[in-house]
Amino acid sequence: MSDVRDVVIIGSGPAGLTAAVYTARANLAPVVIEGEPSSTSDQPGGQLMLTTEVENFPGFPDGIMGPELMTNMRAQAARFGAEIITAKASKVDFSERPFKIWVGNPDAEEPTYRARAVIVSTGAQSLMLGLEEESRLIGHGLSTCATCDGFFFREHDIVVVGGGDSAVEEATFLTKFARTVTLVHRRDELRASKIMQERALANPKIRFQWNSVVEKVLGDTNVSGVVVRDVNTGERTTLDVTGLFVAIGHKPNTDLFAGQLPRKDNGYLVTVPGSSRTEIEGVFACGDVQDDVYRQAITAAGSGCMAAIDAERWLEAQHHA
Amino acid sequence: MSDTISHLSTSTFDEVVGSSDLPVVVDFWAEWCGPCKMIAPILDEIATEQAGKLRVAKLNVDEAPDLARRFEVMSIPTLIVFKDGQPAKRLVGAKGKSQLLEDFAEFL
């Protein structure tokens, strides 16, 4: 039987790694199940691994690249002895203590880890458009990672879909390479922060296709155009572009916890307000997986700290009980 | 980094890839690509474990944009497996070790 660990952390974005730093420094020898590399779904390091410059994380007056920030957080957790496992949790059983966590084959009789406390920090992942042609065109003009792929669109005309911070930030970043960037947004105003909006609106390379949604991506082997529909008039326009970047929002990674932890209608985990506690005593949740309001790297890191302290105090209380 | 991994450039690419008796996995990567960094240690392990069956080589697209264009790489990481000097399989995007080994299985 596998040893019982004090703390297992599932997920390795700012929330999970902050929880790892804190629990490691509290001598709880945490295991972090960080996930598996992927360019299209969740991945070690979380959403910042696919972003560009992070300008609003305190402590970096000149900004820092998202992947670098996460590499630093991981090294910091490792420095204090967090054990980081590059694999995906495939099943959990929170019905009895110690909690059981499987990595790899979910049908294995024995769980891979048993834990007195579990911190869930599996985050959220980008939504795709849900078009049939998407999977075929990923890597052939359709991209889910502006930092990774912007370089290949030098002097191309491209489209960015979305109106929030990530979309506007990507559009601005991509003007370093692209000839023109068309931001396609379903409303007539942006949801992004004011500073990002002003920067994008003032950028001569960015044009805006308001009140529009992407209906179809053209191209057999490579993206050769994007058909957009005006949501008010129904009028269709074909944009003559060779690149498409999608940034239309996120969904929480909570499939693993179906039937184990209560979820809201929108899929986010439920926590007791002002804490990281879930309905299951000893299971804590932090970061974007339980945050459908703020969803920032710094709030994720802050809630990771809360989860670590909640877990530490709970374990302590168990010990004395 | 593993000694078994070679670094290709525009001037060495054809010679190294073309003259190899073994299949060569070429990892198109760059310093600024987060997912590329995620899979680098995995490729190191695979290069060591599969030595004698498969070769792994890295190609920095910043240093060799012409080769990225030649093989129509538009997203990184892209892994292209070359057999007898010809591209035989292309994998786009970061993946875990078990998935990569599955994708390489036909060459092992």
Could you tell me if A210 and A182 are in contact, meaning their C-beta atoms sit under 8 angstroms apart? no
B36 is catalytic: yes
Task: Confirm whether B63 is domain-assigned.
Answer: yes
What would the pLDDT profile of A232-289 be if each residue is shown by its tens digit?
999 999 999 999 999 998 999 999 999 999 999 999 999 999 999 999 999 999 999 9
Euclidean distance between CA atoms A220 and A215, whole angstroms = 16
Could you tell me if A166 and A249 are in contact, meaning their C-beta atoms sit under 8 angstroms apart? no
Euclidean distance between CA atoms A270 and A285, whole angstroms = 8
A148, A157, A230, A305: the catalytic one is A148
Task: Confirm whether B84 is domain-assigned.
Answer: yes
CATH number for the domain spanning B75: value is: 3.40.30.10
Residue of A149, A146, A143 lying closest to A172 (CA atoms): A146
Q: Which residue of A has its CA nearest to B91?
A: A139
Query: Which of B34, B75, B96 has the CB atom closest to A36's CB atom?
Result: B96
User: What distance, in Å, lies between the first and last C-alpha atoms of chain B?
Assistant: 22
Question: Is A148 in Cβ contact with B35 (below 8 Å)?
Answer: yes
Residue of B10, B3, B43 lying closest to B24 (CA atoms): B43
Q: Can you give the length of chain A in residues? A: 321
Three-class SS state of A74: helix
pTM of the model: 0.88
A17 to chain B, minimum CA–CA distance in Å? 16
Over residues B60-68, mean pLDDT: 95
Question: Nearest 5°: phi and psi at B60?
Answer: -80, 115
Task: Confirm whether B107 is domain-assigned.
Answer: no
Look up residue A156 and give its amino acid.
H
Instruction: Read off the tokens for A318.
Output: 């168990």
Question: Mind listing the domains of chain A with CATH numbers?
Answer: 4-126+250-320 (3.50.50.60), 134-246 (3.50.50.60)
| A211 DSSP 8-state letter | T
Q: Which residue of B has its CA nearest to A47?
A: B34
Q: How far is CA A298 from CA A18, A71, A218, A295, B74, in A?
A: 10, 16, 38, 9, 32
Q: What is the DSSP string of A280-310?
A: STTEEE-GGGG-SS---HHHHHHHHHHHHHH
In this prediction, residue B3 has a pLDDT band, given cuts at 50, 70 and 90, of low
What would the pLDDT profile of A133-158 be if each residue is shown by its tens digit?
998 898 899 998 888 899 999 999 99
A138 to chain B, minimum CA–CA distance in Å? 8
B102 to chain A, minimum CA–CA distance in Å? 15
Contacts of A36 in chain B (CB under 8 A): 95-97, 99
Question: Is A70 in Cβ contact with B96 (below 8 Å)?
Answer: no
State the ipTM, two decimals. 0.81
Task: Confirm whether B105 is domain-assigned.
Answer: no
Could you tell me if A178 and A243 are in contact, meaning their C-beta atoms sit under 8 angstroms apart? yes
H/E run at residue A160:
strand A157-161
B5, B8, B24, B36: the catalytic one is B36
The residue written with tokens 């525009």 in the block is B10
Question: Is B94 in Cβ contact with A38 (below 8 Å)?
Answer: yes
H/E run at residue A147:
helix A146-149
Residue of A211, A205, A214 lying closest to A181 (CA atoms): A205
Question: Is B38 in Cβ contact with A149 (below 8 Å)?
Answer: no
A286 is catalytic: no
Burial of A296 (0-12, 13-18, 19+ CB in 10 A): middle
Q: What count of Cα atoms within 13 Å lies in the side-chain half-sphere of residue A162?
A: 23
Domain extent for B50: 6-98
Instruction: Read off the tokens for B24.
Output: 């060569």
Task: Confirm whether B33 is domain-assigned.
Answer: yes
* pLDDT value at residue B97: 92
Task: Confirm whether B83 is domain-assigned.
Answer: yes
What would the pLDDT profile of A188-236 be if each residue is shown by its tens digit?
999 999 999 999 999 999 999 999 999 999 999 999 999 999 999 999 9
pLDDT at B2 over 70: no
Query: Which of B32, B38, B62 has the CB atom closest to A147's CB atom?
Result: B32
The domain total for chain B is: 1
